[in-house]
């Protein structure tokens, strides 16, 4: 049986990497991307596959009930990967409404369309169907200096973004328990790698550095995140869809805890080597400490041992190498960076919520 995938949010950062991964890994994979193309979605991310007969792009909103149901009926997906989301915490502080709409209502529409589709399936098609909801470690709130998020950690979201993702996770859980929809949920840590929109730390700092701009570090730069290479994440998603236990959640992490300042230093060091500043001084001189994000969670760290134990998945990229490769990718793809930001976003500071 060939595999038919719907990837929502497939023109975004992780979604595009997943589309490439699925088409590369399986000759019989057919991938349909459903994406609204918000500021964060970009068809340039999918240019490498646009001529593939096994790939189709559908522009649309996951909140559009008719469109989503029609798509499920036409494509008859084997696996739905739900990555469509408003994903930037700073933007959720400035405008939470879009986050509730897409992340909560959109996930509801997808789950309910999947339920209708699942009811039409029989035999091996019914056995194979999976709905994989992609979520974040931010739903667990903030850690102190020690400890890890496990699949048992209670939910304690602190930002409008993480609260909207938590709501979607609860809906996904309910569609499994109430309706028997074959749902799986993953909660991953901060991803990095090619095709990330340059509002996020690593591409933002890389591009600002090259343009001689300030490198903004929130607060004192001591907030800790667990960095996961996006290619490792895609492998985890494929493993969970193929072999995960229905109704379960899986944490995906990179075993790479770093403070923000450590990450920014590592980017500067890579750039000092790949593209030295005129005069020979380090890009570290461009670092500027700026007002912290309101409600900024102190530390996230993932215990991904369930994935290792049950599905034999481990992150394969070491942070130092993965980061250097990522900085290299942004250096080698400057025209991509310019095209996707033209006119819409100038890497300005967002999410300060003053007053
Ligand atoms: N990037 C990370 O570090 C990270 C970490 C944890 C979890 N996640 C989750 O992974 C998923 C993908 O994240 P990302 O970083 O690739 O996000 P992204 O912002 O790069 O991409 C999101 C994509 O969703 C699309 N989209 C937004 N609203 C839509 C709607 N209403 N209908 C259809 N498409 C819509 C956008 O056009 C874009 O292509 C998200 O669900 C996010 O919450 C991301």
Tens digit of each residue's pLDDT (9 = 90 or more) over 197-243: 988 999 999 999 999 999 999 999 999 999 999 999 999 999 999 99
Ligand 1 within 6 A of 159 CB?
A: no
Q: Which of 10, 17, 57, 85 to mutate to test the pocket of ligand 1 (most atoms within 8 A of CB)?
A: 85
Q: 134 alpha carbon to ligand 1 midpoint, in Å?
A: 9
Q: How confident is the model at residue 13 (pLDDT cuts 50, 70, 90)?
A: very high
Q: Has residue 254 got a pLDDT over 90?
A: yes
- Phi and psi angles of residue 182, each rounded to the nearest 5 degrees, phi first: -75, 85
Ligand 1 within 6 A of 61 CB?
A: yes
- CA 349 from centre of chain: 21
What is the DSSP secondary-structure string of 240-264? Answer: HHHHPPTT-EEEE--S-EEEHHHHH
Q: Which of 17, 87, 192, 203 to mutate to test the pocket of ligand 1 (most atoms within 8 A of CB)?
A: 87
Ligand 1 within 6 A of 134 CB?
A: yes
Per the annotation, the verdict on 137 as an active-site residue is yes
Q: 90 alpha carbon to ligand 1 midpoint, in Å?
A: 14
pLDDT in tens, 310-352: 999 999 999 999 999 999 999 999 999 888 776 565 566 677 7
Q: 3 alpha carbon to ligand 1 midpoint, in Å?
A: 23
Q: Buried b / exposed e across 9-29, counting CB within 10 Å, b at 16+? A: bbbbbbbbbbbbbbbeeeeeb
Percentage, residues of the chain above pLDDT 70 = 97
- Position 354 scores a pLDDT of 61
- Position 343 scores a pLDDT of 55
Whole-number average pLDDT of the chain: 95
Ligand 1 within 6 A of 80 CB?
A: no
- Position 344 scores a pLDDT of 62
Ligand 1 within 6 A of 193 CB?
A: no
User: Per mean pLDDT, which range of 9-23, 88-102, 337-351 is the poorest?
Assistant: 337-351
CB of 235 within 8 A of CB of 21? yes
Q: Which two tokens stand for residue 77?
A: 């997906």
Domain 3-195+228-254+295-316, CATH among 3.30.565.10, 3.40.50.720, 3.40.50.2300, 1.20.120.80:
3.40.50.720
Q: Has residue 81 got a pLDDT over 60?
A: yes
In sequence order, the β-bridge partners of residue 81 are 7, 132
Q: What is the distance between the alpha carbons of residues 72 and 61, in angstroms, rounded to a whole number?
A: 14
Q: 85 alpha carbon to ligand 1 midpoint, in Å?
A: 4
- Position 7 scores a pLDDT of 98
Nearest residue CA, atom 25 of ligand 1?
A: 9
Q: 187 alpha carbon to ligand 1 midpoint, in Å?
A: 13
Ligand 1 atom with the shortest distance to the CA of 161:
43
Per the annotation, the verdict on 226 as an active-site residue is no
Q: Has residue 355 got a pLDDT over 60?
A: no
For residue 218, which of 182, 267, 258, 259 has the smallest C-alpha distance?
Answer: 259
Q: What spatial distance separates the first Cα and last Cα of the chain, rounded to whole Å?
A: 57
Which one from 35, 61, 90, 137 is the annotated catalytic residue?
Answer: 137
- Position 346 scores a pLDDT of 56
């Amino acid at each position: 049986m060939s595999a038919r995938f719907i990837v929502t949010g497939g023109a975004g950062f992780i979604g595009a990497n997943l589309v490439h991964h699925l088409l590369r890994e399986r000759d019989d994979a057919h991938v349909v991307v459903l994406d609204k193309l918000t500021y964060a979605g970009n068809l340039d991310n999918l240019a490498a596959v646009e001529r593939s007969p096994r790939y189709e792009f559908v522009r649309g909103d996951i909140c559009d009930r008719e469109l989503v149901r029609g798509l499920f009926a036409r494509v008859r997906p084997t696996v739905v990967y739900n990555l469509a989301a408003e994903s930037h915490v700073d933007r959720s502080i400035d405008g939470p409404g879009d986050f509730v709409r897409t992340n909560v209502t959109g996930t509801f529409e997808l789950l309910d369309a999947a339920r209708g589709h699942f009811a039409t399936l029989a035999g091996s098609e019914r056995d194979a169907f999976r709905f994989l909801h992609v979520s974040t470690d931010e739903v667990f709130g903030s850690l102190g200096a020690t400890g890890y998020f496990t699949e048992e950690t209670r939910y304690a979201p602190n930002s409008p973004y993480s609260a909207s993702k938590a709501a979607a996770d609860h809906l996904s859980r309910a569609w499994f328990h109430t309706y028997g929809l074959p749902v799986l949920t993953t909660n991953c840590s901060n991803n990095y790698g090619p095709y990330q929109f340059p509002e996020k730390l690593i591409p933002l700092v890389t591009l600002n550095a090259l343009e001689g701009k300030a490198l903004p570090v929130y607060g004192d730069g001591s907030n800790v995140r667990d960095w996961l290479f996006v290619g490792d994440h895609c492998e985890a998603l494929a493993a969970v869809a193929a072999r995960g236990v229905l109704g379960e959640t899986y944490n995906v992490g990179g075993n790479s805890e770093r403070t923000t300042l450590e990450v920014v230093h590592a980017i500067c060091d890579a750039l000092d080597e790949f593209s030295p500043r005129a005069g020979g001084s380090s890009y570290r001189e461009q670092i500027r400490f700026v007002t912290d994000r309101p409600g900024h969670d102190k530390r996230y760290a993932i215990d991904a041992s369930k994935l290792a134990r049950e599905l034999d998945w481990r992150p394969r990229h070491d942070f130092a190498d993965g980061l250097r490769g990522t900085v290299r990718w942004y250096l080698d793809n400057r025209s991509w960076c310019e095209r996707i930001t033209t006119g819409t976003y100038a890497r300005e500071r967002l999410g300060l919520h003053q007053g």
